[in-house]
Structure 1
Amino acid sequence: MSSNVQVRVASWQKDNADLRRIRETVFIAEQAVPPELEWDAEDVEAVHFLAVDGDYAIGTARLLPDGHIGRVSVLKDWRGLKVGEALMTAVINEAERRGLKEQMLSAQVHATAFYERLGFTVVSGEFLDAGIPHVEMKRTSK
């Protein structure tokens, strides 16, 4: 990962343009997720995270008050550079700081190995979400 990449807690209001640009690029444009499924009321109460390369936002994720992690996305040119790992580490650390001992997420099936490396285990069968195969995964903090 380039040494310029950092992850910070973002503001849904202040960083809205960057959060939307990344999620629209990854989920709506690349993966054909319908916009009405991408944007939901939970964005307002979630803790959002931005990965930035210098001052350019390249990845995002969100943490819900119940410990659900979602909308993990990294722009194509930065994939494979450990940006997703840095994002997830920041989200897990924040969840633990808030006393959320259990973190859950719905993973796209092709990404399960990535999440397993971070301590998540598959806890459901496969299901379709926005037409994409997913599984539920869970991680319990020590």
Structure 2
Amino acid sequence: MSAKSDLAKAFAIRIGVFVKEQGVPAEIELDRDDERAIHLLATSAGRPVGTARVVMHRRRAKIGRMAVLKRFRRKGVGTKLLTRAVATARRLHAQAIYLHAQVPVIGFYETMGFRCVGRVFDEAGIPHRKMILGGKGK
């Protein structure tokens, strides 16, 4: 993503999906990691339809804030976004790539090579599980 206007579009998608649709408190949706993250924006016919971010924590990459507008779900947008996010993490020489998946979409991440580790936990009032790319699941 290159322009501030693109970042504003990514934030608007996140607000729409996480705050308005899922009820995440607005005050926690945008955070300090946004300042140092690499933000990705998916478009369809020139319109923004999805977003994700990659944040490096030492040599580990966390993929997060992945959101696709409702009418564009199950059309490959999430797959393309996650593929780009993983490629971005690898380009940054991440030794590990992980994410916090909402429990209902764990299956999607599993199809992309992620495996669950640890137990279900609450994040922003929504059940999540930590997932890592590759390796053995628990």
Whether the TM-score (by the shorter chain) exceeds 0.5 is yes
Give the conservation status (yes or no) of the 8 Å contact 1:12–1:48: no
Aligned: 1:124 with 2:81: no
The list of structure 1 runs, each at least 4 consecutive aligned residues, that deviate by more than 4 angstroms after superposition, is none
Report 1:8-47 matches (<5 A): 10-11=1-2, 13-47=4-38
SS at match of 1:20: helix
What amino acid is the match of 1:93?
A: A
**Which structure carries more relative contact order (alpha carbon 8 Å, separation 6+)?**
1
Question: What is the distance in 2 between the residues matched to 1:32 and 1:95?
Answer: 29
Question: What is the distance in 2 between the residues matched to 1:139 and 1:106?
Answer: 12
Question: What is the distance in 1 between the residues matched to 2:37 and 2:7?
Answer: 13
Of the candidates 103, 109, 114, which is equivalent to residue 115 of structure 1? 109
Unpaired stretches in structure 1, ≥5 consecutive residues: 1-9
Per the TM alignment, residue 97 of structure 1 is displaced from its structure 2 partner at its CA by: 1.3
Q: CA RMSD in A?
A: 1.4
SS at match of 1:123: strand
Per the TM alignment, residue 25 of structure 1 is displaced from its structure 2 partner at its CA by: 0.6
- 1:51 corresponds in structure 2 to 42
- 1:4 corresponds in structure 2 to none
- 1:79 corresponds in structure 2 to 73
What amino acid is the match of 1:104?
A: Y
Quick one: structure 1 residues 12 and 48, their matched pair in 2 at CA, closer, same or farther if it must change by over 3 Å? farther
Percent of aligned pairs with the same amino acid: 40
Count residues in correspondence: 132
Question: What is the distance in 2 between the residues matched to 1:130 and 1:95?
Answer: 25
What amino acid is the match of 1:119?
A: G
TM-score where L is the length of structure 1: 0.88
TM-score where L is the length of structure 2: 0.91
